Amino acid sequence: MGVSRRGPFKSAVPSIVVSPVRRCSRTACGRPAVATLTYVYADSTAVLGPLATYAEPHCYDLCAEHSERLTAPRGWEVVRLAVDTGSARPSSDDLEALANAVREAARPQERAGGAGAAPGAVAPGGRGPDPMEVARRGHLRVLRSPDS
């Protein structure tokens, strides 16, 4: 399989590594997107703002050059929200918060058996059920609020 009489199959589209960076939606522009354009048809408004977290079907991602040169149809208003053209890399605060969360997750015995634990609570690896646990589905648990 994968071999024909003429030789190995060749893809009509060359195989390249897919970049995690979103690209400009304009035709033949391969620059990285920095802003998202959305049209509000009811208000005859084009809104250009920071790059959206997810690519939406009715929004357009634009590079810096195309977002600066954006014009709207006659009678339409262009609203430009502040676009952060800085680096999208995680800051040291983000990385430190992630490291602290991983450290906390690695210490389940401290959370269950600490000073603030409810009387009768048993560690996750213990013998009895946790009185805060209301329901369980696979590895997920529904916990009762400590106030109730």
pLDDT digits (tens, 9 = 90+) for 90-139: 666 777 877 777 777 777 654 444 444 444 444 455 445 556 777 777 77
Residue/partner pairs of 56-61 with CB below 8 Å, 24 or more apart: 60/25, 60/36, 61/22, 61/23, 61/24, 61/25, 61/33, 61/35, 61/36, 61/37
Alpha-carbon gap, residue 146 to 13, rounded angstroms: 57
CA atoms within 13 A on the CB side of 109: 2
Question: For 19-33, what is the mean pLDDT?
Answer: 88
Whole-prediction pTM: 0.47
* Amino acid at residue number 131: P
Q: Which residue has the higher pLDDT, 53 or 125?
A: 53
Q: What is the mean pLDDT of the chain?
A: 74
- 83 pLDDT higher than 90: no
